[in-house]
Amino acid sequence: MNDYLIGKLEDLSSYKWFGKVTRVVGLTIEAKGPKASVGELCYILVGKGNQKIKAEVVGFRDEFVLLMPLNGISQIAPGSLVEATGKSLQVKVGYSLIGKVVDGCGELLSGDALPKGLTPFPTEQPPPNPITRPRIEEMLSLGVRAIDSFLTVGKGQRVGIFAGSGVGKSTLMAMIAKNSAADINVIALIGERGREVKDFIERDLGEEGLKNTIMVVATSDQPALMRIKGAMTATAIAEYFRNQGLNVNLMMDSVTRFAMAQREIGLAIGEPPTTKGYTPSVFAALPKLLERSGTNHSGSITAFYTVLVDGDDMNEPIADAVRGILDGHFVLERQLANKGHYPAINILKSISRVMDDIVSTKHNQTAKNVRNLLSTYLEAEDLIQIGAYKKGSSTEIDQAITAHPQIIDFLKQETDDVLDAEKSIEQLISQFG
């Protein structure tokens, strides 16, 4: 028997650790025992057939273990046995999962058995070592002209999509999933309304988009821990394929609901509320999640995280924290959406922090010139609209007025209009260079 197997056998415990439920308060289950650590997966045995409810250790109070369920808690009773597993949650991942829709624990949402030949993979992983993480040097074509031309994204970049409700986040995500040059898409719908899941799969993504996609869904009715695990599971699946040497697109809608779920857990176990009721653990959990994407020695995860901005306030706590962690942000603006301008990206308020490193000098200069023309027009827009501006008063404003309709036409794009980055950049330089 080789040393590896001997080591594995020595690690096995000859004991099973059990505890008993003493009380349930809101979201939290208190148990006397078992011997377990924070983050460990436990089973609560309920009913006549000892059905197993998955729960995770989230803290301790005196000699009691605090757990939160990944399923419902309706059958849990005083004295229900709690069984420690000695490990954290793992999901099964592999190529046969492509085209499937799974829940926050990695099980098929349809209720069917998982395909065979999948590999167990932990949902909790450390981010790549910053010293060994390769720099972002290669552009990724997303097939969205406004982004490829003015907010060019690199392989392994992490971007926030900031928007209020109903301004086209889901549509933009579906366009990226269908048109992107990435090898595979992992899409996480966290805290989404149940009705919108099928709408997104069938209307926005479509059969063609799903062929190259794994979807992770944790709807708003599920426990807070399940919504957090949905985000972790999607990231773990993306990490597995990155380790296989692929360029992965990870899209998560939304980080705000992940933060809200973390706040629910924090408040339930007694953390003090701070900014707008968010607990300190929220601001510790965000970088742990967001830093896991990016490049490593094998492949890359290019990540897009949507952020819901309450009342279109870009400075609310979660938006502010996420913007500071990521490598760029796209701002979707309600004013543009109301005018029928889709995708409703305000390129003046958006930024890609790696664009300067991955595009040609000509492309970069042309994009800056167009931004300048658009900015000049918007500064003088009120005067232009009321007819107070006289032609010839400013050469810059005259140029901006002339170019404005052409710029707006360039930025608009229908959802079924597919353009790779090369064509978009050629159009940009030929029209405005």
pLDDT of residue 369: 96
| pLDDT range class, residue 2, cuts 50, 70, 90 | low
| pLDDT tens digits along 21-42 | 999 888 789 999 888 888 899 9
Q: Which residues of 150-187 are buried (b: 16+ CB within 10 A; e: fewer)?
A: bbbbbbbbbbbbbbbeebbbbbbbbbbbbbbebbbbbb
pLDDT of residue 1: 46
pLDDT of residue 3: 53
| pLDDT tens digits along 130-183 | 999 999 999 999 999 999 999 999 999 999 999 987 788 888 998 999 999 999
To the nearest whole number, what is the mean pLDDT of the chain?
Answer: 90
Decide which of 93 and 25 is more confident. Answer: 93
Residue 311 has pLDDT above 80, yes or no: no
Q: What are the tokens at 144?
A: 């969205």
pLDDT of residue 7: 52
Q: Give the containing element (helix H, strand E) for 21.
A: strand 18-25
Q: What is the mean pLDDT of residues 13-26?
A: 82
pLDDT of residue 26: 80
Which domains does the chain carry? 13-88 (2.40.30.20), 91-358 (3.40.50.12240), 362-432 (1.20.1270.330)
With a pLDDT cut of 90, the percent of the chain lying above it is 61
- Helix, strand, coil shares of the chain, percent, nearest 5, are 40, 25, 40
pLDDT of residue 261: 93
Residue 119 has pLDDT above 90, yes or no: yes
- For 243, 247, 250, 344, the CA distances from 295, given in Å and listed in that order, are 10, 9, 12, 29
| pLDDT range class, residue 416, cuts 50, 70, 90 | confident
With a pLDDT cut of 70, the percent of the chain lying above it is 96
pLDDT of residue 139: 95
| pLDDT tens digits along 194-218 | 888 888 888 888 888 889 999 999 9
CA dihedral sign of residues 146, 293, 266, 230: positive
Compute the radius of gyration of the chain from its Cα atoms: 25
pLDDT of residue 412: 94
Residue 331 has pLDDT above 90, yes or no: yes
Decide which of 159 and 275 is more confident. Answer: 159
Q: What is the mean pLDDT of residues 74-91?
A: 88
3-class secondary structure, 17: coil
Q: Would you call the peptide bond into 280 cis, given omega within 30 degrees of 0 as the criterion?
A: no
- For 110, 219, 248, 359, the CA distances from 117, given in Å and listed in that order, are 19, 28, 21, 41
Angstrom distance (rounded) from CA 104 to CA 106: 6
Are 167 and 334 spatial neighbours (Cβ–Cβ below 8 Å)? yes
Residue 188 has pLDDT above 90, yes or no: yes
Residue 5 has pLDDT above 70, yes or no: no
- Concatenate the DSSP letters of all residues of 85-133 into one string: -SS--EEEE-GGGTT-EE-TTS-BTTSPPPPSS-EEEES--PPPPTTTS
Taking each continuous run of H as one helix and of E as one strand, the counts in the chain are 14, 17
Q: What is the mean pLDDT of residues 216-237?
A: 93
Beta strands in 220-270 (DSSP E): 247-253
Angstrom distance (rounded) from CA 117 to CA 111: 18
pLDDT of residue 118: 93
Name the pTM for this structure: 0.91
pLDDT of residue 133: 92
| pLDDT tens digits along 356-380 | 999 999 999 999 999 999 999 999 8
Q: Indicate the angle between helix axes 280-290 and 317-325, nearest 10 degrees.
A: 30
pLDDT of residue 13: 57
Angstrom distance (rounded) from CA 383 to CA 375: 14
| pLDDT tens digits along 389-411 | 888 888 898 999 999 999 999 99
Angstrom distance (rounded) from CA 259 to CA 160: 14
pLDDT of residue 70: 87
Cβ neighbours of 418 (radius 10 Å):
13
Residue 86 has pLDDT above 90, yes or no: no
pLDDT of residue 9: 47
Are 248 and 241 spatial neighbours (Cβ–Cβ below 8 Å)? yes
Q: What is the mean pLDDT of residues 249-267?
A: 93
Angstrom distance (rounded) from CA 62 to CA 169: 45
Angstrom distance (rounded) from CA 29 to CA 194: 26
